[in-house]
Chain A
Amino acid sequence: MMVKLMRFSETQIQRYSRHILLPEVGGKGQAALLKARVLVIGAGGLGSPVALYLAAAGIGTIGLIDGDVVDLSNLHRQILHHTPDVDRPKVASAQAKLTALNPDVTVVPHHERLTADNALSLFEQYDIVIDGTDNFPTKFLANDAAIFTKRPLIHGGILRFVGQVMTILPGQSACYRCIFKEPPPAGLVPTCQEAGVLGALAGVIGTIQATEAIKLILGLPQPLTGRLLTYDALASSFRQITVRRNPKCPICGEQPTITTLTVAEQQVCELPTAALLSNGGAA
């Protein structure tokens, strides 16, 4: 332990002392965090708490991919961005905050959308990927790219007052498509933009995602795999639903039908015609 601690500077020992004190972290664990590379998809509601806690923990390299600019309506939940950041690219705004929080951290901004063309090469540069996007085509793309590159993926989703989280270890635990075979018909499931979302809920779910990433890097047991954790802010209650790997999963099942990355781009803006048969409400 002392040998490992020698690697740290005085300021690092001070900065990370409350982590190093934990037997589950220690000098060795903190060194692992400083060497880790984590990709965060989306520098928004979920990406904000995720990236802030990862930076504070001294995650060596944090990649951020987001093609958007900050909008005033983002600020009630996207706590990486401040009022003067409106109209600034989210990745630039995020990079400034994260490096100010912890200069040990290298932030790699990717000011673009995740696409079928860039996903694999991007994922390969990181150890763990965190899903903080709001749109389903990208969520499915992230899942598929994680399966192909065998990168752990930490899924998160929020809507109105409810959130969900699950850690996916490719080939070992249920993936997103084991639960949801394909994206919902476009326009059917409302986005935060349409349905609203409690800002602080993003903090709850994103913070759990960051915690799971840190646990994976430290090699701690009992990751949030094989169970979908849901949080209902109105009821103040957590539930977890056991989800097994689905033998019929189109990407990680016994006879996968998805063998290359594709994005259901056409689904983004089209409204379903036949699908709108009832008035289902998610929350």
Chain B
Amino acid sequence: MSSSFSVIVNGKEEATTAASVMELLQIKKVDPHMVSVEYNGEILDRTVFPSTHLKSGDKIEFLYYMGGGTA
């Protein structure tokens, strides 16, 4: 059982056991194709979600695609 640590997701501090950005997305049931992820101020390429390891204090923003307007 891995121990939890705290990260800041969309401005809110929360405890997680996710080892990587990809795992965090999976735990939160967010399809990786539906978001862009900003990790400590930098937009990540989708290909590095699994290899980006999380540590205490990391700041993660999920930026969602939004349409809107016409139709």
Q: In this assembly, does B10 line the interface, its C-beta being within 8 Å of a C-beta of chain A?
A: yes
Asked whether A158 lies within 8 Å of B70 as measured between CB atoms, the reply is no
Interface string of A51-84 (1 = CB under 8 A from B): 0000000000000001010000000001000000
Query: What residues of chain B lie closer than 8 Å to A78, measured between beta carbons?
Result: 70
Question: Which residue of the partner chain, among B29, B33, B63, B64, contacts A279 with CB atoms under 8 Å?
Answer: B29
Asked whether A158 lies within 8 Å of B69 as measured between CB atoms, the reply is yes
Q: In this assembly, does A132 line the interface, its C-beta being within 8 Å of a C-beta of chain B?
A: yes
Q: In this assembly, does A27 line the interface, its C-beta being within 8 Å of a C-beta of chain B?
A: no
**With known contacts A193-B71, A244-B41, A278-B29, A162–B66 Cβ distance under 8 A:** yes
Bound state CA distance, A109 and B55, in angstroms?
53
Asked whether B29 lies within 8 Å of A45 as measured between CB atoms, the reply is no
Query: What residues of chain A lie closer than 8 Å to B15, measured between beta carbons?
Result: none
Asked whether A133 lies within 8 Å of B67 as measured between CB atoms, the reply is yes
Interface 9-mer from A5-13, A184-192, A217-225, A257-265: A184-192
- Secondary structure class of chain A's binding surface, majority of residues: loop
Q: How far is the CB of B32 from chain A (nearest CB, A)?
A: 8
Asked whether B69 lies within 8 Å of A47 as measured between CB atoms, the reply is yes
Query: What residues of chain A lie closer than 8 Å to B41, measured between beta carbons?
Result: 242, 244
Q: How far is the CB of B31 from chain A (nearest CB, A)?
A: 3
Bound state CA distance, A162 and B67, in angstroms?
11
Asked whether B65 lies within 8 Å of A44 as measured between CB atoms, the reply is no
> What count of chain B residues pass the 8 Å CB interface test?
26
Interface string of B13-52 (1 = CB under 8 A from A): 0000000000000100111011110100111011000000
Asked whether A47 lies within 8 Å of B65 as measured between CB atoms, the reply is no
Asked whether B64 lies within 8 Å of A134 as measured between CB atoms, the reply is no
Bound state CA distance, A116 and B58, in angstroms?
40
Asked whether B63 lies within 8 Å of A134 as measured between CB atoms, the reply is no
Question: Which residue of the partner chain, among A133, A159, A248, contacts B45 with CB atoms under 8 Å?
Answer: A248
Q: In this assembly, does A164 line the interface, its C-beta being within 8 Å of a C-beta of chain B?
A: yes
Please provide the chain A residues from 64 to 123 with a CB less than 8 Å away from any CB of chain B in the complex.
66, 68, 78, 90
Query: What residues of chain A lie closer than 8 Å to B45, measured between beta carbons?
Result: 181, 248
B residues bordering A, Cβ < 8 Å? 10-11, 26, 29-31, 33-36, 38, 41-43, 45-46, 61, 63-71
A residues bordering B, Cβ < 8 Å? 42-47, 66, 68, 78, 90, 131-136, 139, 156-159, 162-164, 178-181, 183-185, 188-189, 191-193, 197, 202, 205, 228, 239, 241-244, 246, 248, 272, 275, 277-282
Instruction: Write 30 A-B pairs (CB below 8 A) sorted by A numbering.
Output: A44-B71, A45-B68, A45-B70, A46-B70, A66-B70, A132-B68, A132-B69, A133-B69, A133-B70, A134-B69, A135-B71, A156-B69, A157-B66, A158-B66, A158-B69, A159-B67, A179-B63, A180-B63, A184-B34, A189-B34, A202-B69, A239-B11, A243-B38, A243-B43, A243-B63, A244-B42, A246-B43, A279-B29, A280-B29, A281-B29
